[in-house]
Amino acid sequence: MTAPEQWLPVVGWEGLYEVSDQGHVRSLDRLITPRSGKRPYLRRGRVLRSDFPSARYRVVQFHAEGVKIMRYVHALVLEAFDGPCPEGEEARHGVAGQLDDSLGNLCWGTRGENERDKVRDGTHNFARRTHCPRRHRLVAPNLVADTTGYGYRGCLSCARARAYVGWWRRHRGVVLDLQAESDRRYAQIMGEEAAA
């Protein structure tokens, strides 16, 4: 049996909106007083629709006294159930992915941890790259070692070719063709792998 959904006030919007541990956001019943002098009326609360404007994270829009603001649902859940965001940290999604805003899939973490999560989930731009700009395949052994922890996938043959061509230009004044040199090094690197 699943636990019942728990609701807490949205931080900064207490009395107007609530967020649940399952990632739902709802407005509360409230009395609306129109500016035109008409009679006040009761606006019933409802569960808000969450949109995906960036196709990455769910957001909701809040309205109160002429103010409209968009907020990420995952941040609302964490702020309500886990407290304010610690200094230097941001919201992280777990293995269930970035569309699951339930409390069990969220935590605060550093930017580096968040980037490693993206690599794990296959959503990081560098992790999805299959070829470098010069069309060399980004597979071992043609990969530059990632020292940043951000999932960088660089082309080893292009990196070596840039260093080689740059040395000849600086020290000898000779301009070499970077594309040809990187292609030669790519064939050499991949040929060594095929021979092994």
CATH number at residue 94: 3.90.75.20
Is 128 a member of any domain? Answer: no
Number of domains the chain is built from: 2
Average pLDDT over residues 109-114: 88
More confident residue, 53 or 111: 111
Is 2 a member of any domain? Answer: no
Burial class (CB in 10 A: 0-12, 13-18, 19+), 73: buried
pLDDT interval class at 73 (50, 70, 90): very high
Mean pLDDT of the chain: 85
Is 134 a member of any domain? Answer: no
Residues 101 and 188 in one domain: no
Residues 6+ apart with CB under 8 A from 119: 126, 127, 150, 151
Residues 6+ apart with CB under 8 A from 121: 93, 95, 97, 98
Portion of the chain with pLDDT greater than 70, in percent: 88
pLDDT interval class at 38 (50, 70, 90): confident
Is 131 a member of any domain? Answer: no
User: Which contiguous run of DSSP H or E holds residue 32?
Assistant: strand 30-32
Domain range for 164 is 143-195
What is the radius of gyration, based on Cα positions, of the chain?
Answer: 26
Average pLDDT over residues 186-196: 76
Which pTM does this prediction carry?
Answer: 0.65
User: Which of 141, 171, 172 shows the shortest CA–CA distance to 155?
Assistant: 141
Average pLDDT over residues 56-74: 86
